Amino acid sequence: MDIYSILISLLFILNFFFAVIIIFLEQKDATSTWAWLMVLFFIPFLGFILYLIFGQNMSRKRLFDWEDIKKIGIEGLIQEQITSLREQRFHFSDPDSRDYRDLIYMHLVNNDALLTENNKVDIFTDGKEKFDQLIEDIENATDHIHLQYYIIRHDHLGARLLSALTKKAREGIRVRVLYDEMGSRKLSKNFFSSLKKAGGEVEIFFPRRIPLINLRLNYRNHRKIVVIDGKTGYLGGFNVGDEYLGLNPRFGYWRDTHLRMSGQVVKALQTRFILDWNQATHHHYIHYEDRLFPALEAAGDMAAQIVSSGPDSEWEQIKNGYIKMITGAKDSIYIQTPYFIPDQSLMDALRIAALSGKDVRIMIPDKPDHPFVYWATYSHIGELLKAGANVYIYENGFIHAKTIVVDGKVCSVGTANIDVRSFRLNFEVNAFLYHRPTAERMALTFQNDMQYSREMTLDDYRKRSLWIRFKESISHLLSPIL
């Protein structure tokens, strides 16, 4: 045999062993396994390098730990709630919450998501209004500011936020900033030099250990959390950048959804931030202090759970929450998402709901920011149109909201998109809100957005060109690994 034949044979053998690793050692779901085997078949050897970067299984790794968590008392409250729910003696302050006992129990058992009541929420759908309020809250901070975003840009909004944080750090306020390296890859590390000189602390989630190479870049911390003085919390879809103010001509107006919360729910947000921070830092660990978890009075009448998910989890908690909400729907399901690439379980739940006569409405953007993801979204939309779902294409800029509202009684708002990446690969966090007035407001917001959308009918979908059908087919095939 000549050298060329020997190399081909070795490549074939290596590919075979790589395939064995993917199938038997990682134990991925069937669709993801087939997608990676296809990559391995068409791109020998290089495909496995891509797999090492994009396909690692992190579910066996314990990434987040905080030895002081018992001092908060959350573990005891969780066990107490689990027991009282199991024995059906839990007292719900809001009778409507009782209808979602099973959903609440599932989040408690599988995600340690404590149910908090007597909370208050403000909903922001406009970037300028959200960041104006955030800057005001930062300026009024008296003890500490914990800020975490997937994307922070060095532009007008980024500079404005940095200035506000630096000013508070100079005043002696403890300022901590955490950002994701992949999401903020264009951000210079010198960007925060003024904040650090003022005493602020900055950490990067999953930074590269080797120049130009990050073997964990596929696992992104997509969470957006702000906690101020342990009393006010922010959670939602807005990142930090001028495009989120509608200043990028490519996207135009940026339509998103973000929450400002007060009440006991802020303790759950604080805990989530601390877990993420301590994973990222090597020198500035956060230890328990009473001032991080101050006594909080009742702020309103809303019940809420903060639910986290990520590749380190055995279960896809946020996706499971969505499925539980959808399968329990009595009347309507409203979903807004920039990317709609559900796996088979979520797709089946939505299809069955639509076939059962439920009012299923899905709103997606008209403008793609990721072409493959955009066309994969369209391929899944077509399947639901056949089942009787209603689909709306938002045309007043770009819709980035990640929301689901069921029956005008329960809703979820957070960072998770309806796609495989959010459910399995990214670190995400959502608020599940058991509060009829809030859910009704979210449903009304969806209906108002319909005025700026065009409805896609099944007939419209069937008239798409052959070129679009081709792009959809390729994207749909790759959707398990997008």
DSSP letters, 125-145, are EEHHHHHHHHHHHHHT-SSEE
Q: 442 with 413: CB under 8 angstroms?
A: yes
Spot the catalytic one: 137, 407, 419, 449: 407
Burial 11-35 (b: 16+ CB within 10 A, else e): eeeebeebbeebeeebebeeebbeb
Number of helices (H) and strands (E), helices first, in the chain? 16, 18
Spot the catalytic one: 28, 107, 168, 222: 222
- Known catalytic residue at 476: no
- Known catalytic residue at 222: yes
Closest CA to 148 of 182, 177, 168: 177
Burial 93-118 (b: 16+ CB within 10 A, else e): eeebbeebbebbbbbbebbbbbbbbb
- Known catalytic residue at 61: no
Alpha-carbon span 441 to 459, nearest angstrom: 32
Place of tokens 């959804």: 257
Spot the catalytic one: 224, 358, 435, 471: 224
- Known catalytic residue at 242: no
Q: 442 with 411: CB under 8 angstroms?
A: yes
**Radius of gyration (Cα) for the chain, nearest Å?**
23
- Known catalytic residue at 144: no
Spot the catalytic one: 107, 231, 358, 402: 402
Spot the catalytic one: 400, 409, 471, 476: 400
Closest CA to 447 of 336, 330, 325, 326: 336
- Known catalytic residue at 407: yes
Spot the catalytic one: 112, 137, 229, 256: 229
Alpha-carbon span 347 to 390, nearest angstrom: 14
Residues with a catalytic annotation lie at 222, 224, 229, 400, 402, 407
